[in-house]
Structure 1
Amino acid sequence: MGDRVKVAIIGPGNIGTDLMIKVMRNSTNLEMGAMVGVDPKSDGLARAQRMGVATTAEGIDGLLKLEVFKDIDIVFDATSAGAHRRHNEVLQANGIQVIDLTPAAIGPYVIPSINLEAENAPNMNMVTCGGQATIPMVAAVSQVAKVHYAEIVASISSKSAGPGTRANIDEFTETTRSAIEQLGGATRGKAIIILNPAEPPLIMRDTVFVLSDLVDTDKVEESIARMVASVQAYVPGYRLKQKVQFDVIPPEKPLNVPGIGPQHGLKTSVYLEVEGAAHYLPSYAGNLDIMTSAALACADMMAKRRIAAGIARGHKEAA
């Protein structure tokens, strides 16, 4: 694995553990270096140890003490928005590339199907699970028409919403709304998340409503189909639940959009579902799978650039 870049994961919960397994099974440019937590009894840390990965239960400070740290180039943060701020400060001081899976939004928003090729910042923010699933659809409409308003509703199983997700609901809605506007191209955005307690657990479902200038619906459908295929390249379980629906909002009966006023045009409704790959998490946890899959795609690209430029830490020392 001499041609791979070593990574560490902070947060050995469901997301961190699933991400570790994806790195070890699916990555072409990454190698696991360390798993970092704060609970010595963590199942994720125990699993990492069994898989031969260096671990610490002393948090970010423990990571700095590990022998492998000198070879770490990229760190995934799968903790919380609050904890990420300190983690980022420490990692940036050590020249580490950060992939942020929290809603902290310190770095630029990154959704692989939209802007991965164009971004290369020290801190890359993966938005939210709902954002990763829905904003590509908003961007697809924006590619063929001006989008005035976009609203997304992400419905996930309660069982797939861990402590981190529940503690960051406010950050989820705000970060997703902001990314709808910045990456999706909407003048105004809104995000809603629903934790569904149904048994058996339901697969992740997402609804996207977009109000745009009036445009040929065939062009919108074609743009959405291309975007769906782009997301499926790294999230195979991503798919349209049914045919895209359209409604024409006439000028004489406009919709009142808070913040921008009466608007008319084409309303596009997109219904999605995301089935997880079940590497570690259940297949219904598509909300977590799309985050880890997007983060993996982002880190793979960062590693590829570092290898090509000859700036990977472990590679330089080996040379």
Structure 2
Amino acid sequence: MAVLGSGSVGTDLMVKIRQSDGPLSVAAMVDGVDELLAMPNFADIRLVFDTTAPRARTGGWAALTQSGARTIDLTAATTGRHCVPVINLDDFRDTSSLHIGTGAGQAAVPIAAAIGRSGVVTYAETVCAVASRSAAPDDRAGVDEFIESTSAALQEVGGALRGKAVLLLSPADPPASMRSTVYCLLEGDPDREVIENDIVDMVEEVSRYVPGYRLKQRVQFETFGTESPLYVPEAGPFTGTRVTVMLEVTGAADHLPAYAGHLDMVTAAAKATAEHIALHANGTGS
């Protein structure tokens, strides 16, 4: 496998892979696709992680997609199918490309999906606060892509009818860990104990590949009736139940700092996805 992009995200991913005893090995880390295509052993590379900004991709990208190598996109690009390991990993066993998306999406989508087991989530919103020190210039320039990609993931994978994402950059010093608050709206008054148990189980599943992913406090519920509905912008008054889930993600600090939990969500999800694909390709996966 190869890693496109030698920045902090690509380096963290490479360190994660080298520290593990899984089926992956890093053959190359290069700054661009043209450099990768020029490598004499490129034909032996079957999996490429792309951590470069979409705007930096050159014309050589078409040649990469036609080469037969699978690609895993770790950026907030607004195209491609989203893969969230605990939700739809098996859908990507044989696909040529997939999209990991944002750390905010990787954190919030499993929660929306868990809540959706009890009914249709008519609206899902995530408010993600990250340390400003962990937001590189490309991240700041790509806020629009972040919002679009995360909102799309909440709908496409999380199952929400509508999705919204908000990103907050915290100037706190020392930097604080990533925190996400996920709001989901369901019609009626579903079984709260069942929803909370499903969320706790989902958090445990995610924490198997992102150990620093956890609930910050117990799940909160609020019911809105016809006499006092909740007003939702662009949707109007809502009656039903709002579920609020507060998450904290502390990174593993393999290369990225521990407070960059949103980036650790991305690299950990990419590694888990690639390992599953590799095991399936080798005939040893379930």
Fold shared by both chains (TM-score > 0.5)? yes
Structure 2 partner of 1:316: none
Distance 1:88 1:264, change over 3 A: farther
Q: Which of the numbers 256, 266, 269 marks the counterpart of 2:241?
A: 266
Which AA in structure 2 matches 1:263?
F
- Structure 1 spans left out of the alignment, 5+ residues: 1-6, 38-58, 310-319
Residue deviations 1:191-210 (CA, integer Å, cap 9, x gap): 00011111001110100111
Q: Shift of residue 228 of structure 1?
A: 0.3
Counterpart residue number, 1:78: 51
In 2, the alpha carbon distance for the partners of 1:152 and 1:222 equals 20
Q: Return the letter of the residue paired with 1:176.
A: T
Q: Which residue pairs with 1:312 in the alignment?
A: none
- Matched residue, 1:44: none
C-alpha RMSD of the superposition: 1.5
State how far apart, in whole Å, the 1-side matches of 2:43 and 2:163 are. Answer: 42
1:52 is matched with which residue? Answer: none
Q: What residue ranges of structure 2 are gaps of 5+ in the alignment?
A: none
Counterpart in the other structure of 1:288: 263
Query: Is 1:93 paired with 2:76?
Result: no
Pair 151,85 (structure 1): closer, same or farther in 2 beyond 3 Å? farther
Asked if the contact 2:33/2:61 (under 8 Å) is kept, the reply is no
The correspondence for 1:174, drawn from 140, 144, 148, is 148
Specify whether residues 205 and 79 from structure 1 end up closer, same or farther in structure 2 by C-alpha distance, changes over 3 A only. same
State the match for 1:198 in structure 2: 172
Shift of residue 118, structure 1, vs aligned partner: 2.3
Distance in 2 (CA, whole Å) between partners of 1:10 and 1:128 is 17
Between the aligned partners of 2:58 and 2:144, the Cα distance in structure 1 is 17
Between the two proteins, the alignment pairs up a number of residues equal to: 282
Shift of 1:181: 0.9
Change (3 A) 1:152 1:167: same
Structure 2 residue aligned with 1:308, among 279, 283, 286?
283
Deviations, residues 122-166 of structure 1 (Å, cap 9, x unaligned) = 111002110011111111100111111111011000111112211
2:273 match: 298
Q: Does the CA contact (< 8 Å) of 2:203 and 2:213 recur in 1? A: yes
Aligned residues of 1:173 and 1:192 also touching (Cα < 8 A): yes
Is 1:17–2:11 an aligned residue pair?
Answer: yes
Measure, in 2, the Cα distance between the counterparts of 1:87 and 1:98. Answer: 14
**2:37 corresponding residue in structure 1:** 64
Q: What's the TM-score once normalised by structure 1's chain length? A: 0.85
CA distance in structure 2 between the aligned counterparts of 1:160 and 1:27, rounded to whole angstroms: 28
Runs of 4+ in 1 over 4 A off after TM superposition: 84-88
- Indicate if the aligned counterparts of 2:33 and 2:58 stay in contact, CA closer than 8 A: no
Alignment counterpart, residue 246 of structure 1, candidates 209, 215, 221: 221
CA shift for structure 1 position 60: 1.2
Q: Distance in 2 between matches of 1:224 and 1:161?
A: 28
Q: Which stretch has the larger CA shift, 108-117 or 119-128?
A: 119-128
In structure 2, the partner of 1:118 is: 91
Alpha-carbon offset, residue 223 of structure 1: 0.8
Match of 2:161 among 154, 167, 187: 187
